[in-house]
């Protein structure tokens, strides 16, 4: 062993001990004939004192930042104590030292506030990983890993490894494929999730399964997606939705307690998908702040059980509202005093292509109780006041109104709500608010192919009381224009998402476990018998031999760690992440392969002409 102690370990009680330390040179400070060196390792920093005797040796063998140093010396009390540091009361009076390895000058400083840009830090990730901010992220990740395993073990879950070289059954996302040399012309696929395997394990009677496991999706990468990502993947047999919600509320509370020392004792809100969309315009609402939407007007075909407030705007002959499918309002606390410039900026914000609205109307609900509005040509002060009050505005608030097509308008208003929440400081990274979103639609309509697609995945069960509806109706859509009146449009999934601070951190469902229902589902998604058999024959087969009722959930481990760490970037919580082009810039991967690899695999390139 190269050391007797770590750099985070020595205290005033160790005074007088002879110790051996090894670590990296963080800083060097010369004061005349003596030198102070901060020596760093994973556990902390210890100050070294190079007194006159050894200091002369430093002249012949000078130290530099990031040198790997081993020292022998005596623990002494510091004259100048540093209460910021756990080892701040002592220093080590160096008697001898060995330079274990030298270091070139790093391309950026190894500090929390580094001067390194993103690309440089990714290229030299092995140096970036030395920064204590990055190390804390990986430590948090390990703590979450530990906590999840501990909880699940105590609940009798078993970690069972599922294979990585499986069969390509692209549904939704693209598979990464792996050519098989031993089976020329054939390919394995990397799993997008262990979904079918964990279901088979339930059929096999394993009852409570979990795995913290890498999954793969070959998708064009959005800002914060990775081609390989980690899931906490779980499945249970003999359960209903309520059992799963309870079990995993327990897990997340346990993780909060273990990792953040936080007692999350509040009940975890449960919103239906409709309620979330209605109130927040979003199926993963950030409920750290209120700011509910006011549904002034909506098409008849959606949220059919809910009444809008169209009376507030009707009869004014304001074409923009009258011709819009959907009109939504939002009260922004304390923003009535916005200047023209500020309201113009909001208008421009919603007009950006990502948001895509034509414009924005506003009503200032002034402190004196009166209203000033960009649409007061069309509405009386009383009408404006009524609208403001319906939007739960208080005097001093600004009410913004968007109008347009249902889907785009709702999404735009949801984005605007989040943006204003951010600007108002209502989205605190150290505050945590969980909720469940339930009762998703089972299907989405795909216009291009005029058929249903699975909103979650093809293994999700409908609500128990809608199984008959599904079995007894033909999934084919004969009247594309009125797809919403097809019986399948109203079928709700026995599915649930766990949402933390506006991010979906986990999602799952009660599964189909009856062969006939699974076949009906595949048929609804446009798969004929032959394709069903080719892709999922093993699962349909398994359902014939005594499949129990079962369901599960998968947590996005990278994102969960990021949010618990107060960040929205998952890359900061992955040891060796890829960039947005799917490249590992440190390895310079992917890369070309050798000719003999092509030969052995019996494939060749077929590059498109530019």
| Member of 37, 442, 542, 563 binding a copy of itself (CB under 8 A) | 542
Tokens found for residue 82: 């540093």
Q: Cβ–Cβ contacts within 10 Å for residue 216, how many?
A: 19
Q: Which is nearer to a copy of itself, 184 or 487 (CB)?
A: 184
| Cα atoms in the 13 Å half-sphere on the side-chain side of 30 | 11
Best CA proximity match to 126, nearest among 589, 566, 587: 587
Q: How many residues in the shown chain lie near a copy of itself by CB under 8 A?
A: 126
Q: Which is nearer to a copy of itself, 152 or 454 (CB)?
A: 152
- Min dist CB 514 to a copy of itself, Å, is 7
591 binds a copy of itself (CB under 8 A): yes
| Member of 9, 139, 275, 419 binding a copy of itself (CB under 8 A) | 139
Q: CA-to-CA distance for 157 and 408, rounded, in angstroms? A: 42
| Residues 232 to 251 in contact with a copy of itself, rule: CB under 8 A | 238-240, 243
Contact map string, positions 407 to 426, toward a copy of itself, x by CB under 8 A = --------------------
Torsion 247-248-249-255 (CA) sign? positive
Q: What is the DSSP letter of 547?
A: P
Q: CA-to-CA distance for 451 and 478, rounded, in angstroms? A: 10
- Min dist CB 604 to a copy of itself, Å, is 4
- Min dist CB 2 to a copy of itself, Å, is 4
- Min dist CB 445 to a copy of itself, Å, is 23
Q: Which is nearer to a copy of itself, 27 or 186 (CB)?
A: 186
22 binds a copy of itself (CB under 8 A): yes
Q: Which helix (H) or strand (E) holds 390?
A: helix 381-390
| Residues 32 to 71 in contact with a copy of itself, rule: CB under 8 A | 40-43, 66-68
| Member of 59, 115, 161, 300 binding a copy of itself (CB under 8 A) | 161
3 binds a copy of itself (CB under 8 A): yes
Q: CA-to-CA distance for 48 and 26, rounded, in angstroms? A: 11
Q: Which is nearer to a copy of itself, 238 or 428 (CB)?
A: 238
188 binds a copy of itself (CB under 8 A): yes
568 binds a copy of itself (CB under 8 A): no
| Member of 56, 112, 119, 158 binding a copy of itself (CB under 8 A) | 158
User: Distance of alpha carbon 448 from its chain centroid, rounded?
Assistant: 29
Tokens found for residue 435: 């909720």
Q: CA-to-CA distance for 333 and 365, rounded, in angstroms? A: 10
153 binds a copy of itself (CB under 8 A): yes
Question: Rounded to the nearest 10 degrees, how much is the dihedral formed by the CA atoms of 224, 226, 230, 236?
Answer: 80
- Min dist CB 208 to a copy of itself, Å, is 8
- Longest pairwise C-alpha distance within the chain: 94
Q: Which is nearer to a copy of itself, 152 or 388 (CB)?
A: 152
Q: Which of these segments, 255-263, 367-375, 563-571, 586-594, binds a copy of itself (CB under 8 A)?
A: 586-594
322 binds a copy of itself (CB under 8 A): no
| Member of 125, 257, 310, 463 binding a copy of itself (CB under 8 A) | 125
Q: Cβ–Cβ contacts within 10 Å for residue 512, how many?
A: 27
129 binds a copy of itself (CB under 8 A): yes
Q: Are 550 and 199 in contact (CB under 8 A)?
A: yes
- Min dist CB 270 to a copy of itself, Å, is 18
464 binds a copy of itself (CB under 8 A): no
Q: CA-to-CA distance for 533 and 458, rounded, in angstroms? A: 14
Three-state DSSP at 73 gives strand
Q: Which is nearer to a copy of itself, 392 or 515 (CB)?
A: 515
Distance set, CA 100 to CA 25, 26, 57, 68 (Å):
11, 15, 15, 5
Q: CA-to-CA distance for 535 and 533, rounded, in angstroms? A: 6
314 binds a copy of itself (CB under 8 A): no
Q: Which is nearer to a copy of itself, 347 or 514 (CB)?
A: 514
Distance set, CA 134 to CA 108, 116, 573 (Å):
14, 13, 7
- Min dist CB 323 to a copy of itself, Å, is 41
């Amino acid at each position: 062993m190269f050391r007797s102690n770590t750099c985070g370990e020595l205290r005033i009680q160790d005074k007088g001990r002879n110790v051996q330390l090894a670590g990296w040179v963080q800083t060097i400070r010369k004061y005349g004939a003596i030198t102070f060196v901060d020596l760093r390792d994973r556990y902390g920093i210890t100050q070294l004192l190079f007194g006159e005797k050894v200091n002369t040796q430093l002249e012949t063998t000078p130290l530099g930042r990031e040198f790997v140093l081993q020292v022998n010396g005596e623990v002494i009390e510091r004259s100048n104590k540093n209460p910021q540091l756990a080892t701040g009361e002592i220093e080590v009076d160096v008697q001898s030292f060995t330079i274990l390895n030298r270091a070139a000058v790093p391309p950026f400083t190894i500090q929390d506030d580094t001067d390194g840009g993103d690309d440089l830090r990714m290229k030299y990730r092995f140096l970036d990983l030395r920064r204590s901010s990055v190390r804390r992220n990986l430590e948090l990740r390990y703590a979450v890993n530990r906590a999840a395993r501990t909880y699940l073990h105590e609940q009798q879950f078993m970690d069972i490894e599922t294979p990585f070289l499986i069969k390509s059954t692209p549904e939704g996302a693209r598979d990464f494929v792996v050519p098989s040399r031993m089976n020329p012309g054939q390919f394995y696929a990397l799993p997008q999730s262990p979904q079918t395997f964990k279901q088979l394990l339930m059929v096999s009677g394993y009852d409570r399964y979990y795995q913290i496991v890498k999954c793969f999706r070959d998708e064009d990468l959005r800002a914060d997606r990775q081609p390989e990502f980690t899931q906490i993947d779980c499945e249970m047999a003999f359960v209903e939705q309520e059992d799963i919600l309870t079990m995993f509320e327990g897990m997340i509370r346990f993780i909060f307690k273990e990792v953040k020392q936080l007692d999350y004792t509040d009940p975890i809100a449960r919103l239906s998908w409709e309620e979330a969309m209605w109130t927040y315009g979003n199926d993963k609402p950030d409920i750290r702040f209120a700011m509910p939407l006011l549904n002034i007007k909506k098409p008849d075909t959606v949220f059919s059980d809910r009444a809008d407030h169209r009376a507030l705007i009707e009869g004014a002959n304001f074409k923009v509202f009258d011709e819009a499918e959907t009109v939504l309002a939002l009260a922004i606390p304390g923003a009535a005093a916005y200047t023209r410039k500020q309201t113009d900026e909001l208008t421009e914000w919603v007009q950006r292509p990502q948001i895509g609205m034509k414009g924005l109307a506003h009503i200032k609900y002034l402190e004196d109780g009166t209203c000033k509005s960009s649409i007061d040509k069309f509405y009386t002060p009383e009408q404006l006041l009524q609208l403001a009050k319906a939007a739960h505005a208080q005097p001093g608030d600004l009410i913004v109104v968007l109008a347009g097509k249902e889907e785009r308008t709702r999404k735009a208003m949801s984005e605007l709500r989040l943006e204003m929440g951010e600007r108002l400081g209502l989205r605190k990274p150290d505050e945590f608010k969980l909720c469940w979103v339930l009762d998703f639609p089972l299907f989405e309509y795909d216009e291009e192919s005029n058929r249903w697609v699975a909103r979650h995945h093809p293994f999700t069960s409908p609500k128990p009381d809608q199984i008959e509806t599904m079995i007894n109706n033909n999934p084919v859509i004969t009247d594309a224009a009125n797809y919403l009146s097809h019986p399948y449009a109203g079928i709700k999934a026995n599915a649930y998402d766990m949402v933390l601070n506006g991010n979906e951190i986990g999602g799952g469902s009660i599964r189909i476990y009856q062969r006939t229902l699974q076949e009906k589902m595949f048929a609804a998604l446009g798969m004929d018998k032959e394709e069903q058999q080719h892709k999922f024959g093993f699962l349909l087969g398994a359902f014939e031999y005594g499949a129990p009722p079962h369901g599960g959930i998968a947590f996005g481990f990278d994102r969960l760690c990021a949010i618990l760490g107060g960040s929205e970037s998952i890359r900061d919580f992955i040891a060796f992440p890829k960039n947005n082009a799917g490249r590992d810039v440190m390895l310079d991967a992917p890369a070309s392969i050798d000719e003999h690899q092509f030969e052995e695999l019996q494939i060749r390139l077929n590059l498109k002409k530019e």
